[in-house]
Amino acid sequence: MVQNLPEPGSENPPSDIPGAPARPGCPLEGDLVSGQIAGPLLVLLHAFPLDRSLWSDVVAHLEGTVPILALDLPGLGESDCPEAEPDLDLAADAVVACLDRLGRSRAVVAGVSLGGYVALALARRHRDRLAGIALIDTRPDADTAQARDTRLRLARAVLSPVGTRALSPMTATLLGATSHRDRPDLVHRVEGLLAQAPPRGVAWSQRAMARRGDSWALLPDLHLPAAVVVGAQDEISPPEVARRMAAALPDAVLTVIDGAGHLSPLEAPPQVADALTALMLRVNPSSV
């Protein structure tokens, strides 16, 4: 069963959990699936510049087994674009506000690419709100100077008359070689998602990602169940980076998915669902 999130303003933050103060003003839209099921909540955060529909096939595999909250990150999907300065910390605070709206003290957070950056920001700012973490097709590095410049140029381009046509080349690297060769339907689906991405939200997200810091030093201090998932054909966050992340985390399980690129939840939903199920089984119910 799919439910809407409670309206903003219904936040009920736990009083016994420390953390950075969450900044208001960035309510997110999302779907609560199987919310009536007891147990830890699984929060799903999508890749750039997509929306929560990235997770639809994974959710279909998990529905009825765990409560799931699939969110649209700031400015993307149905979530409004913040007026505040672009900052992934704001996105992390917005996810915490959603937990407060549901009266949830803690959750397992799974993020793909951009969603992984937000999950790491959550781990830094609100570690006590995490019962577990899944880092999928993502990396903890800060951008190089060249990568930051590319992001800022793309942010300017999507706000120009070019619009989201500036995103078209991304399809080549978002999907793996196997998907490009064997799944024209999936290529077309990603092309459509890129074309319909909101330009203001795309620009905001690019600028927020461009200013993020390095998170490698954070990983050894994350003493909680973790999953690292990567497509074997991911050229953006390659398997060697995933192996380093899994080695740096105290309690991580690594899954490398053959035939998948940078969007494993779209390219290999059963395998991603299996990795998340295994993670949820490792989470102590009393921790939530």
pLDDT (0 to 100) of residue 26: 77
- Picking from 72, 73, 113, the residue whose alpha carbon sits closest to that of residue 272 is 113
Looking at residue 15, what is its pLDDT? 45
> What Rg, from alpha-carbon coordinates, does the chain have?
17
In the chain, % of residues over pLDDT 70: 91
Domain 2-10+21-143+213-287 CATH class label: alpha beta
pLDDT in tens, 192-217: 999 999 999 999 999 999 999 999 99
Whether pLDDT at 274 is above 80: yes
Q: Out of 36-40, 69-73, 149-153, 223-227, which region has the weakest mean confidence (pLDDT)?
A: 36-40
Cβ–Cβ under 8 Å, residues 176 and 234: yes
Res 13 pLDDT > 90: no
The stretch 78-107 carries a mean pLDDT of 95
Distances from the Cα of 79 to the Cαs of 18, 25, 198, 209, in angstroms? 27, 12, 10, 17
Q: Identify the residue with better confidence: 125 or 16.
A: 125
Q: What is the mean pLDDT of the chain?
A: 93
Contact between 107 and 288 under an 8 Å Cβ cutoff? The reply is yes
Strand ranges (DSSP E) for the chain? Answer: 2-4, 30-33, 42-45, 68-71, 107-112, 130-136, 226-231, 252-257
Helix (H, G, I), strand (E, B) or coil at 43: strand
Average pLDDT value for residue range 38-64: 96
pLDDT class for 38, splitting at 50, 70, 90? confident
Mean pLDDT on 31-42: 90
The neighbouring-strand residues paired with 69 are 32, 43
The pTM assigned to this predicted structure is: 0.94
**pLDDT number for residue 35:** 83
pLDDT of residue 19: 52
Strands (E), 42-190: 42-45, 68-71, 107-112, 130-136
Task: Provide long-range contacts, Cβ within 8 A and 24+ apart, for 247-253.
Answer: 248/216, 248/219, 248/220, 249/219, 249/220, 249/222, 250/220, 250/222, 250/223, 250/226, 251/223, 251/224, 251/225, 251/226, 251/282, 252/226, 252/227, 252/228, 253/226, 253/227, 253/228, 253/278, 253/279, 253/282
Q: Confidence class of residue 90 from pLDDT cuts 50, 70 and 90?
A: very high
> In the predicted model, is pLDDT for residue 23 greater than 90?
no
CA atoms within 13 A on the CB side of 131: 21
Mean pLDDT in residue range 237-260: 98
Angstrom distance (rounded) from CA 68 to CA 55: 11
Q: Which pLDDT score, from 0 to 100, does residue 287 have? A: 64
Q: What is the dihedral of CA 211, 215, 217, 222, to 10 degrees?
A: 140
At 231-244, the pLDDT tens digits run 999 999 999 999 99
**How many Cα atoms sit within 13 Å of 59 on the Cβ side?**
24
pLDDT at 50 > cutoff 60: yes
Confidence bin at 284 (pLDDT 50/70/90):
confident
Q: Do 220 and 249 form a contact (C-beta atoms < 8 A)?
A: yes
Average pLDDT over residues 80-99: 96
Q: Distance (Å, rounded) from C-alpha 28 to C-alpha 17?
A: 22
**Which residue type sits at 206?**
Q
